[in-house]
Structure 1
Amino acid sequence: MKRAALAAATLLCSCVVSPSLADAVAARLAETVVEAQVEEGVLKGYMLLPGDRSGQPVAVIIPGSGPTDHDGNNPLGIKAGYLKMLAEELAEKEIGSIRIDKRGMFASTTGFPDANDVRMTDYAGDAIAWLKVAREKAGTDCAWLVGHSEGGLVALIAAQMAGPDLCGVVLVSAPGRPLGEILREQFTGNPANRPVLPQLLEATRTLERGEKVDVASLPGIVRPLFPESIQGFLIDLLSYKPAELIAKLRVPVLIVQGDNDLQVRVVDAKNLSQAQPSAQLKIFPGMNHVLKETPKDNLIANFAAYGDAEMPLAAGLSDEIAGFIAGRR
């Protein structure tokens, strides 16, 4: 008991800072809005650059699929704020970042009237534009791409044509198999899909063939998954093979994956690692898709983390990423 009391007292003392020191820390991590100009319009991002020294490492953090914003949140129910938390933790470790809103979404709507009128090469081109902004703002020769989930695939595509602006790539919970294979696994693994599983699988195969799905022919419960407005994007998305893309890279790569991820599996990370043996691979026990550590085989806790902005990131995650980036300056 005495040891516990002493530890608690020590912890309390370490957290009490003078107002001037607290203000200094806040100013050091002040977030600023930055822009990237592309042919069609203006993209917005949110920059955290620690300190005032030029030449510190900086990364562009690319969000995942759907209407996911620069913080990692999504109006469909994801409120975990995991990308903002990652950026803040990286800043504390002297790694700067720019978190971005994808074209046509949130703050990046100027010049993009239809967010669904997009292809993966558009996102990749935007990522390259952000690389230039990041290295100029940070005063560095190159910048990093950190892609989460579908953002990892964007990073892999962008890396094929980024040139010297790119220092390297960090893939976080990124697919390592064609998306059609992952979709089939997700559909088949959910018992609730059993009554409509044939239609789900056939719709996926149709898109993989490069053909559009007749939405009217689908059961009502399935139609929201394959709306006409995004089928062009889905056809494009399903055409990519992540393992083939990573095999072509000649820049440093870190692959980070949680073993409690319900959307992207450890097998994806291992596929990527096998395709690019020079890449560094780190598996985090208990980490789920929103980068929070949750108990294994507890779906309720896993899904609850998607809406919990107070829950910390998985222990060691930002240390791993920051260490990798800093070690390859």
Structure 2
Amino acid sequence: MKSFFIVTLLVFTTFNSFATPIEKIVNIETGTGKLEGTLLTDDSKVSKTVALIIAGSGPSNRDGNNPTMTNNSLKMLADELSKLGISSLRYDKRGIGKSKSSELKESELRFENYINDAISWIEYLNNLSNFNKIVVIGHSEGSLIGMVASQQKNVDKFISIAGAGQPIDQTIREQLKSQPPIVIEQSTPILDKLLQGERVQNIPAFLNSLFRPSVQPYLISWFKYNPQKEIAKLNKPVLIVQGSTDIQVSLMDADKLEAANIKADKVVIQKMNHIFKEATLDRQSNFQTYNQPELPIKPELVEVIGEFVHN
């Protein structure tokens, strides 16, 4: 197992210190509507590396925000990477923000839609003449999406930030253990059937929000993917980044991903939570950072990514 050390990136900072970031709104057609993203480059024409940043679960937009929280985590990441000579493209997920036109009915949405969207963005970047290296950065649920999409030959490196290390059905089972016994008793047979690709009728009312019939096809499609198996398929440089105070994804998840791909590098950033901000393990104060857009992201995250990309 290789060790990965944080170093001061003075050379990279100097490299891009006088460049002026340029934002360009870009679009791709999905067949069911357009996806919109922001391509952040600089006017130096020197940078040849571009990172595709894939947002996490829920109604997340290109900046890492959703209707209930604003933290600008992904926007900050893109801005900081530009200072290291790394261009980036981040995009609103299907059905979110300026990608609203590509929205599918819940009953028609599949996990593969998100994977294919990422692959389409990779193809878009690959067709641009000003880049010769593509790095995929997947955050949270975007980690699994990025793992599968990065199996494309035109992806040079993959970075997982706060990515789950086990199939999502196992995560759901673990989360439900903290609920009253009847919840896990009623949920287990439902999860078992969905895992087998079977839909379930007559969902108990108290479980409808989680297992409603219209969302079951998406869950079935999502359950098919095991992050450990997908990351093992990547025969290219892989970086696994995990924050020590992430209360949504655990250090054990990062360990599982590392064990699945023995060539991968893993870095644990102390006092970094799920959205890259400095935080403690106190749940209330940790979650408060999710609505503090003025709070900067941890600089160690940018340093680690910069070193991995440039080396």
Equivalent residue, structure 2, for 1:301 = 285
Equivalent residue, structure 1, for 2:294 = 310
Look up the equivalent residue of 2:165 and give its one-letter code: G
Equivalent residue for 2:52, pick from 41, 51, 60: 60
Residues 193 and 59 of structure 1: CA distance in aligned 2, closer, same or farther (over 3 Å)? farther
Q: Secondary structure at the match of 1:43?
A: strand
Look up the equivalent residue of 1:245 and give its one-letter code: E
**Unpaired stretches in structure 2, ≥5 consecutive residues:** 1-16
Residues 52 and 115 of structure 1: CA distance in aligned 2, closer, same or farther (over 3 Å)? farther
Equivalent residue for 2:167, pick from 165, 178, 184: 178
Q: Are 2:47 and 2:86, in contact at CA under 8 Å, matched by a contact in 1? A: no
Q: Are 2:241 and 2:267, in contact at CA under 8 Å, matched by a contact in 1? A: yes
Range that drifts further, 265-274 or 27-36: 27-36
Q: Secondary structure at the match of 2:156?
A: strand
Equivalent residue, structure 2, for 1:285 = 270
Q: Are 2:112 and 2:221, in contact at CA under 8 Å, matched by a contact in 1? A: no
Cα RMSD over matched residues?
2.2
User: What aligned pairs does 1:1-329 form with structure 2 within 5 A after superposition?
Assistant: 28-75=20-67, 77-114=68-105, 117-137=108-128, 139-160=130-151, 162-163=152-153, 165-188=154-177, 190=178, 193=180, 196-214=183-201, 216-220=202-206, 222-296=207-281, 298-327=282-311
Q: Are 1:58 and 1:138, in contact at CA under 8 Å, matched by a contact in 2? A: no
Q: TM-score, normalised by structure 1?
A: 0.82
Residues 133 and 305 of structure 1: CA distance in aligned 2, closer, same or farther (over 3 Å)? same
Q: Deviations over 1:259-279 (max 9, x none)?
A: 222221111111111111111
Q: Are 2:64 and 2:71, in contact at CA under 8 Å, matched by a contact in 1? A: yes
Equivalent residue, structure 2, for 1:6 = none
CA distance in 1, matches of 2:107, 2:63: 20
C-alpha deviation, 1:29, in angstroms: 2.2
C-alpha deviation, 1:209, in angstroms: 2.5
Q: TM-score, normalised by structure 2?
A: 0.87
C-alpha deviation, 1:194, in angstroms: 5.3
Range that drifts further, 201-210 or 29-38: 201-210
C-alpha deviation, 1:116, in angstroms: 5.7
CA distance in 2, matches of 1:51, 1:305: 33
Q: Are 1:54 and 1:140, in contact at CA under 8 Å, matched by a contact in 2? A: no
CA distance in 2, matches of 1:155, 1:113: 21
Residues 113 and 299 of structure 1: CA distance in aligned 2, closer, same or farther (over 3 Å)? closer
Residues 284 and 114 of structure 1: CA distance in aligned 2, closer, same or farther (over 3 Å)? same
CA distance in 2, matches of 1:281, 1:87: 21
**Unpaired stretches in structure 1, ≥5 consecutive residues:** 1-23
Q: Deviations over 1:88-137 (max 9, x none)?
A: 11111111111111222221133544366232222222212211323444
Residues 245 and 226 of structure 1: CA distance in aligned 2, closer, same or farther (over 3 Å)? same
Look up the equivalent residue of 2:145 and give its one-letter code: V
Aligned-pair identity (%)? 34
Q: Secondary structure at the match of 1:267?
A: helix
C-alpha deviation, 1:141, in angstroms: 2.4
Query: Whose helix fraction is larger, Structure 1's or Structure 2's?
Result: 1
Look up the equivalent residue of 2:232 and give its one-letter code: A
Q: Are 1:186 and 1:263, in contact at CA under 8 Å, matched by a contact in 2? A: no
Q: Secondary structure at the match of 2:98?
A: coil
Equivalent residue, structure 1, for 2:8 = none
CA distance in 1, matches of 2:112, 2:203: 30
Q: Deviations over 1:168-195 (max 9, x none)?
A: 111010111111111122222x4x5556
Range that drifts further, 131-140 or 83-92: 131-140
Q: Are 1:80 and 1:309, in contact at CA under 8 Å, matched by a contact in 2? A: yes
CA distance in 2, matches of 1:198, 1:94: 52
Look up the equivalent residue of 1:242 and give its one-letter code: P
Look up the equivalent residue of 2:200 and give its one-letter code: V
C-alpha deviation, 1:219, in angstroms: 3.7
Residues 280 and 42 of structure 1: CA distance in aligned 2, closer, same or farther (over 3 Å)? same
C-alpha deviation, 1:280, in angstroms: 0.8
Residues 55 and 135 of structure 1: CA distance in aligned 2, closer, same or farther (over 3 Å)? farther
